[in-house]
Amino acid sequence: MHALILFDLDGTLVDPAGAITGGISSALRSHGLPVPDDDALQAMVGPPLVHSLTALGGVPAARVQEVMATYRAGYVSTGMAQSRPYPGVARCVEALAAEGAVVAVATQKPEWLAEELLEAQGLRHLFASVHGSPRDEAAAVGGKEPIIRAALEHHGRHADGAVPGRAVMVGDRRHDVEGALANGLSCIGVAWGFAAPGELEDAGASAVVQSAEELLEVLRGGL
């Protein structure tokens, strides 16, 4: 089995249950800005929101920070409580750790917020470490690649770039796959998240699983 297993957060470990898309819609309305269609809102889950608001939501660059502040305040006050772990995921992580794997989180969510969400959902104790974007989200550049790199370095990546033991990424969007491949890792995609049909396969995922039980079996097999 892999020595180090990195999990994405929203769409992989935790179902935001509309907290993200609904929160974005509410924040845009509160600032008198148009709300994009459902497909665009769904596509915002995963990538850095500070970029998605401009690229997918059409928010003027000068107004992104005020929208972000409104969204984050609502997410902290109510959104985290609406989220729920996906069925079987906690048992999967527990089993992996019990069998000797180091399990960590690598998310584009701000790291402080990822920590709070995991605590609120009773999941934080399952993970050896949590890696995410900086508090200043405008400073987050490079997509998922630097976050995965930071996780690898934290867990002993060698100076020559070699990965200690066997490591793998688990995620639900193409940027999870791309960030993993950029770090020399394979990525297992999960079908219960926010990827469009074929997105994970086209990005180069080594497998796409349909359930937490299937994920556990694939990880046990070392794919």
Give the C-alpha separation, 143 to 175, whole Å: 7
Give the C-alpha separation, 191 to 176, whole Å: 13
Q: How far is CA 61 from CA 24, 58, 66, 67, 138, in A?
A: 16, 9, 10, 10, 11
Give the C-alpha separation, 191 to 196, whole Å: 9
Q: Which of 8, 15, 172, 176 is catalytic?
A: 8
Is 136 considered catalytic here? no
User: Phi and psi for 130 in degrees, rounded to 5?
Assistant: -130, 130
Catalytic residues: 8
